[in-house]
Amino acid sequence: MDADTYVESLAASTPRSFGFSAATRDEAEGWQRAFRPALSGLVGLEAIAARGTPPMDATLVRSEEEPDHVREEWTLETEQGFHLPFYLLRPLGSSGPRPLVLTPHGHGKLGKRTYVGLSESEADRRDMQAGERDIALQAVREGNIAIAPDMRGFAGLRRREEIKRDANNSCRTLQMHALLFGRTLIGERVWDIQRLIDWAVLRDDVDPAAIAITGNSGGGTISVFAAAVDERIAVCVPSSYFCTFRDSIGSVYHCECNYVPGIMQLGEMWDVAGLIAPRAFLAVSGRADPLFPIEAVRESYDQLRRIYAVFDADAECCLSIGEGGHRYYKRDVWPFIERAFASRHVR
């Protein structure tokens, strides 16, 4: 084992405590019951919860009406002293409870603004359209309520120092600080998603049985981990993330925010995603994505299909491959989410 074969050697020799081996649905459900709290603890959710949860009182900052939807800007105190900004989009003329789509974003200085279709320059607008990155806007135009939060370390949730020098993110510093307290940046972002769900399901216009999550890149990361630990999420659609830890996070240069210490001692990425079974799961990948190699995506997907088969839920686990690189591909996303909701008779 040398510097170039380090990860491959360790991945082959390190036992995974929760590597999937169940042969029956009862065994698989028992595996999930044991694995889910272990994963929650590893990403730091228990450490965050120990500080207590503030009341679910969000503050409406402003509301703007667009031709086909209303865009509201809110803040919610998700843990003591930390206020999360987010947009809520709702279709004009809608009545009764609607499905909810959460759209966590990845790296970038614009954060949630891109996901709701707002740009600050013509170049930003072209980039957003080319990568189909206005995900929350897509969601509301499909008739859903959409929530687009800022993620910690990005946009307005960067540290003042990074904002001052116009740096892309504050991930490294925030991750290192989180580790000092038994937390991770992934765990903090997942925690914020869970608190948004707590708040949203109290609304009369949200159907608590119809919750989906989808985001690109770092937003795909949070989509997988949030759905793995929170069973209220009925549909999970990560884009440009689902792969193997070995061949992506462990082999390609990535931001520090992607790492969970000890995760490979618990399971591979397909094991983590297996906690979502038998709920609907669609992995979206780019054939030419250099960060999440397509061969490893297919390997992880094949392993995940094996888990779904034990749940007799093969049809709920799908893969969509776009012809480009590291971006969002909406082609199959909204038909998949619509079918998943319809199969549960929630639309």
Could you give the domains of the chain?
A: 6-343 (3.40.50.1820)
List of residues 6+ apart from 263 with CB closer than 8 A: 42, 245, 272
List of residues 6+ apart from 123 with CB closer than 8 A: none
Mean pLDDT of 211-234: 98
Write out pLDDT tens, residues 25-78: 999 999 999 999 999 999 999 999 999 999 999 999 999 999 999 999 999 999
Beta-carbon count within 10 A of 38 CB: 13
SS3 at position 96: coil
Residue 304 backbone phi and psi in degrees, to 5 = -65, -40
Per the DSSP assignment, residues forming a β-bridge with 284 are 239, 320
pLDDT score for 223? 98
C-alpha angle 340-341-342 in degrees, rounded to nearest 5: 90
Beta-carbon count within 10 A of 318 CB: 19
**Helix, strand, coil tally for the chain in percent (to 5):** 40, 20, 40
279's tokens: 């709920």
Mean pLDDT of 315-335: 97
Q: Is the pLDDT of residue 345 over 70?
A: no
Q: How confident is the model at residue 107 (pLDDT cuts 50, 70, 90)?
A: very high
Helix (H) and strand (E) counts in the chain: 14, 9
Q: Is the pLDDT of residue 245 over 90?
A: yes
Per the DSSP assignment, residues forming a β-bridge with 58 are 76
Q: Tokens 């925690």 appear where? A: 191
What's the chain's average pLDDT?
A: 95
pLDDT score for 108? 86
pLDDT score for 4? 77
Mean pLDDT of 137-150: 98
pLDDT score for 346? 41
List of residues 6+ apart from 245 with CB closer than 8 A: 11, 263, 264, 268, 269
Q: Tokens 């959460």 appear where? A: 102
Q: Answer yes or no: are the C-beta atoms of 148 and 112 closer than 8 Å.
A: yes
Q: How confident is the model at residue 347 (pLDDT cuts 50, 70, 90)?
A: very low
Q: Answer yes or no: are the C-beta atoms of 213 and 189 closer than 8 Å.
A: no
pLDDT score for 95? 77
**What percent of the chain is modeled with pLDDT above 90?**
91
C-alpha distance from residue 175 to each of 146, 170, 187, 259 (Å): 28, 9, 10, 9
